[in-house]
Chains A and B, each alone.
Chain A
């Protein structure tokens, strides 16, 4: 007789987490060059970003085109906190984490104000505008952000006197957080909030009749999505130690969007697979130098034409 997964003494999801942890440790041992570890780290950051976007896009059905703006705000907030607010203190970086999360969640909630009025495509355009606004501020508010030259010399994080410096140190930090985000989102998707958001996606009127506050749900989903994107920025800033507005343009948002859509939106694994493909594909195609982006575009087209709901999109049904 088969029993439900969660009534077993050893939950299946716990096994999955353990397996993923082992995988990360093994990966860190197998990929020893700095280059391959850097690719892994970027993969981890994009996993967080695409998971974050999926909360708005895949779960709640809000076509949100400015994940890079929240990513950038998280990165700049973390960097400025360490450089200006708490310079030279080792725990400054760690205190900046709740600051970034709260700031981003608040701004995500703020972005939801137009969402309460606008629907579908029009909402998408408003977010596009928000992204452009954030980028303009990053470029033009020179005294705060360094303008187009960016912020240099962002210090590495410390734990007491131990400095997190090498790419492999970051690998553990990034993947621990990526895993945490995955677990939190998995729990959330089974809980009342997650289900409410998916209800909003499927049918707003039906959701309302079931007692779901649609506007509040949308605002919460955007806040969570923004906070997760901010977390990715918080990790990115000390990892690369140099930020410039060109890291957070519309192109970046489009890449994150593509990861979610290609992998399959509204699933936990879809965005992860999408991130893996879109981080790896350009690296594998590096030998083809100038044809790289062209092939990338063609592959993207082909994937969409063949599987419009994403690679993992249909497996779920």
Chain B
């Protein structure tokens, strides 16, 4: 029972972590909580669904379409809505992000309908048993894929020129632009990067649960957001750790307390951690949001 919940918790925790990366990247650079990020995750799932089920394309094409599609969506959001609001008060930016989330969710609802769709089963999901714990192949694949994406992101941010520019922009946007870094390009890149990570997470979840719906982004978006605050917003490793903690805690709550309190448990942990350490576990960036 305990180990089974650990396995389930790690699976969902990885997903939360992947989505949380998008929040943390964007917040780290421009201090915006992109509330619409959960919807990008949902769009990722639906793009894959469209390519696979509606167009009958191969899986590889679906993945490419998801990465490009969600990256474009991220850039579009930034260019159309967030860029004109760069200097606006933080609360106004937050409201705008919520509005963007409403727009995206309803667009998806009009495009793909309100009912829950079945995701085409491309991989035979066979479950294996280890000491009485049921593990599907996908539950093994998700942590591995997440780890690979994390390593890739880490290398990109800490080992490349682009990553250096991103870090410089996040430290001091004006100074970076004085040194010849075009901040709007960096911000667009960050949006594209965060969005495609979120999109991929959406695909993984749809394969895992075998279904998808237009409102799937709301709950996950909120959890991932909590995860990145928990880990310390602005920190890449913190986001991942926060995701795992939330995932595990939820799995334990479902297993030992009651599935009904699943939604509250993430926030309860968060509040407790914040009271003990107000800037999150890996908190480095302290006062960017006001």
A residues neighboring B (CB under 8 Å) = 57, 63, 114, 117-122, 125-126, 128-130, 132-133, 135-137, 139-140, 250, 254, 257-258, 261-262, 265, 290-291, 293-294, 296-298, 300-301, 304-305, 308-310
Contacts and interface: CB of A to CB of B under 8 A. Distances in A.
Contacts of A137: 264
Contact of B106 (A114, A118, A293, A309): A293
Interface of B: 33, 81, 84-85, 88-96, 98-103, 106-107, 109-110, 222, 225-226, 229, 233, 258, 260-261, 263-264, 266-268, 270-271, 274-275, 278-279, 287-290
A118 B275 contact: yes
Contacts of B98: 254, 257-258, 300
Given A117-B278, A132-B263, A136-B264, A297 B100 contact: yes
B278 A122 contact: yes
Given A119-B287, A140-B260, A305-B84, A300 B274 contact: no
Contacts of A117: 274-275, 278
Nearest to A308: B88
A297 B103 contact: yes
Given A297-B106, A309-B89, A309-B92, A136 B260 contact: yes
B102 A121 contact: no
Contact of A57 (B91, B100, B275): B91
Q: Which secondary structure dominates chain B's binding surface?
A: helix
Contacts of B226: 125, 129
A129 B100 CA distance: 22
Contacts of B107: 294
Contacts of B94: 63
B110 A296 contact: no
Top 4 nearest A-B pairs (CB, nearest first) are A129-B267, A308-B88, A121-B289, A297-B102
A300 B102 contact: yes
Contacts of A296: 102
Given A304-B85, A305-B81, A129 B270 contact: yes
Nearest to A294: B106
Nearest to A262: B95
A309 B85 CA distance: 11
Nearest to B230: A125
B61 to A, nearest CB: 29
A254 B99 CA distance: 10
